[in-house]
Amino acid sequence: MTIDWDRRTCARRGHVTYAPDEPRLRERLYADTALGTAWRCLRCGDFALGDPHGAGPADRAPLVPRGKGLRDVFVLRFLAVERAVRGVFIALVALAVWRFSNSKDAVHRLFDEYLDVLAVLCILLAKRLFGLRGGHHAFEQERHSASPLEVEETAAVGARA
């Protein structure tokens, strides 16, 4: 399954239409329908109902990224967001190191206060208490699931019969 980046972007942001002044280009980008006028999208090539977003000489038409270029723009934006989140995380870690670098008591207090809470959360999740991670029903299913030994014994009994 491949992603059609042009149509995906048009679905999220809308079509980009343009009415060129040149008659030869205008007739290729324009269609008259029963619902009104339709203009061809510069990004995906589909016709979109309504007035064009811009008009003028063809050399003044907006440059719209398409295909691999559009995919590259998406990937670069994703990487920029990831780097920004990573930078904030590193800044917070640096701030914590700076804040607690000269104070052993503050670090001990931090661990004493939050380590107990973390231990309780781990126990709640691991033992499926209070309905967490599926609760009693999931615990029973896990308990009654077949172990590899049971599977081997069942296979041996089936082979002897």
- Who contacts 20 (Cβ-Cβ below 8 Å, separation ≥6)? 26, 29, 55, 56, 57, 58, 61
The pLDDT score that the predictor gives to residue 47 is: 92
Q: What is the mean pLDDT of residues 103-111?
A: 71
SS3 of residue 55 by DSSP: strand
Q: What is the mean pLDDT of the chain?
A: 81
The pLDDT score that the predictor gives to residue 73 is: 86
Q: Which of 13-17, 83-87, 134-138 has the lowest mean pLDDT?
A: 134-138
